[in-house]
Amino acid sequence: MALIQTPEVQRLRRIRQLGVGHLVFPGAEHTRFNHALGALALMHDALTSLSNKGTPISPEEHTAALAAALLHDVGHGAFSHTLEHELIQDFHHEAMSRVLLVHLNNRFDGALDDAIAIFDGTYERPWMHQLVSSQLDMDRLDYLRRDAFYTGVAEGEVGVQRLIKTLRVHPLAGGPDARLTVEGKGIYAVENFLISRRLMYWQVYLHKTVLAGDRVLHAALRRARRHLRAGSEVARTIRQGSRSLCFFLEHAITADQLDTEAVRTHYCQLDDTDVLFSLKQWMQAEDPVLADLARRFINRDFFRVTFLGDAPGTAQQEAWAATVRRWLLDEGLSTRDTVEDDLPFYLHVDRSRHAAYATNHDPIAILDRSGALRELSEMADTASIAGLDDTVVKPYVSYPKSAGVVIDEASG
């Protein structure tokens, strides 16, 4: 309870779990705080089940594992994954979670030593780390179930309790060589979990309108960053927004600076509210492009995203660019002197990618009837799992809906 009451954890109430997903799925207003408590609850259920099956777990280990589950995502920034790589170069939220864990540990006089070891994977019982971070961890089990519920995507529902009840530590003593496994009777629940994860990525996390919202938000922040670093007249309006957001836009912060006091302080003060407040201020900016991008996000006037059958060629991209250039001039957003610089903020070619299961990275182990461990995809009953190891790549293009961009049917 003392950890839950810390400002670092309470800040998660102000960060939406799905980034801009609530602008696509109206019910998806849940936060990182909800998810942190959910992961903690599932960790408690898993430890209780494993203990009942004969794996000894001390009260101190139980508490440490609960703390690791609660704090596993404490390093997430504003709008969750949407801005993960936008504000800090080479950034991953796990690194900031680690920084904040250490500082919380100092505040709690070393009470989180074991929790940090579990988080890092250096604790003497490695299977405890697997419960926090693996291809079948409490984090994934909670967010898939929670996101499916709040988005209304029934295909994402997972039999979480069934999965937890079939988890075992092998061997039961749970020593240094033990690992987390799934009993053979739970194999269909695992298969359903992985298939649900793939469906949730394509129907929710990488939904084309979510990508469209991401693109507008990224474009607005990059435009603001350009003015701040150039010291232009528009920078005065930009600084009327969040001080902490401006700190990250104005300075080229890298991942190796996470533990500096200024970076940590500003990061812990930054949440979704800062971004939204800033965008509302920037709607009055003298720069028509920044004002337009801010307005688009606030009013949910996103770009159109079209998935393509193949990556577009140079000629196709130039045709799209010519169309968007004319549109920028006609709309009065650009002049002939600025249109080339403004174009990348309105036309973007990229690709989304996802693999539901990686057989070569911390594979899921199944305990068969003979007591032997087998990798999930090797089991005869799970032939369909093999296809989930493939990384699916989908090229796409984003552009203003009213620009009149024509997508060639051969590539789109």
Per residue, what are the HEC states of 350-381? EEEEECCCCCCCCCCEEECCCCCEEEHHHCHH
Averaged pLDDT for residues 109-138? 97
The whole-model pTM stands at 0.93
Whether CATH 1.10.3210.10 fits 7-206+363-390: yes
Q: Which long-range contacts (CB under 8 A, 24 or more apart) does 60-63 make?
A: 60/114, 61/114, 61/125, 61/128
**Class (C level, CATH) for 215-302:** mainly alpha
pLDDT at 411: 47
Could you give the CA distance from residue 412 to residue 406 in angstroms, rounded to a whole number?
A: 10
d(CA 35, CA 65): 16
User: How is residue 342 annotated by DSSP?
Assistant: H
Q: Is 97's pLDDT higher than 60?
A: yes
Average pLDDT over residues 257-267: 96
Spatial contact of 209 and 305, defined as CB atoms under 8 Å apart: yes
Residue 412 is predicted with a pLDDT of 42
* Fold match, 7-206+363-390 / 215-302: no
Residue 213 has pLDDT above 50, yes or no: yes
8 Å CB contact between 67 and 113: no
The whole-number average pLDDT for the span 306-321 is 95
pLDDT of residue 380: 52
Instruction: Determine the average pLDDT of the residues in 10-24.
Output: 97
- The torsion angle over the Cα atoms of residues 215, 217, 219 and 223, rounded to 10 degrees, is 180
Report d(CA 186, CA 398) in Å as an integer. 42
Task: Report residue 64 CA to chain centroid gap.
Answer: 24
pLDDT above 60 for 146: yes
User: Which residue ranges make up each domain of the chain?
Assistant: 7-206+363-390, 215-302, 306-355+396-412
| Residue 196 to residue 155: CA distance in whole angstroms | 6
CA distance 62 to 58: 6
Residues 6+ apart with CB under 8 A from 320: 312, 347, 397, 399, 405
Which pLDDT belongs to residue 383? 58
What pLDDT digit, counting tens, does each position of 51-93 carry? 999 999 999 999 999 999 999 999 999 999 999 889 999 999 9
Q: Output 26 or 389, whichever has higher pLDDT.
A: 26
Mean pLDDT, to the nearest integer, of 183-187?
A: 92
* Mean pLDDT confidence for 250-257: 95
Q: What is the pLDDT of residues 326-373, one digit of tens each?
A: 999 999 999 999 999 999 999 999 999 988 888 778 889 999 888 889
State yes or no: pLDDT of 410 exceeds 70: no
